[in-house]
Amino acid sequence: TPDECFDELEMPTGITPNGDEINDFFFVRGLDYDDNSIVILNRWGNVVFEKENYKNDWSGTSKTGTSLPDGTYYVILKVPPRNAILKGYVDIRR
């Protein structure tokens, strides 16, 4: 059922991309499908990052690869094979 999918997928609410190899990436537990997409928006609703086939490799950068300012961002993750759309936030602190 769709509810079971949400139990298996878990998004973090914070990352600390400072290069110490601890919590540097937005790692979605249970994301084992290539058929997915992620969108990160700033507090004004502007898309700052988006990617098809997300591989748990976002480290708080913009679409151009520059570091985003510390703060809270809105996340939308779609995983069609699991019929799941997860929405939440991530706080970036370096």
Q: Give the pLDDT confidence score for residue 1 in this predicted structure.
A: 43
The one-letter amino acid code at 17 reads: P
Q: Give the pLDDT confidence score for residue 69 in this predicted structure.
A: 98
Q: Give the pLDDT confidence score for residue 7 in this predicted structure.
A: 57
Region 67-76: what's the mean pLDDT? 98
Q: Chain centroid to CA 91: how far?
A: 11
In 3D, which of 11, 3, 30 has the Cα closest to residue 89? 11
Q: What is the pLDDT of residues 3-58, one digit of tens each?
A: 444 458 999 999 999 999 999 999 999 998 889 999 999 999 999 999 999 999 99
Question: Is 60 exceeded by the pLDDT of residue 85?
Answer: yes
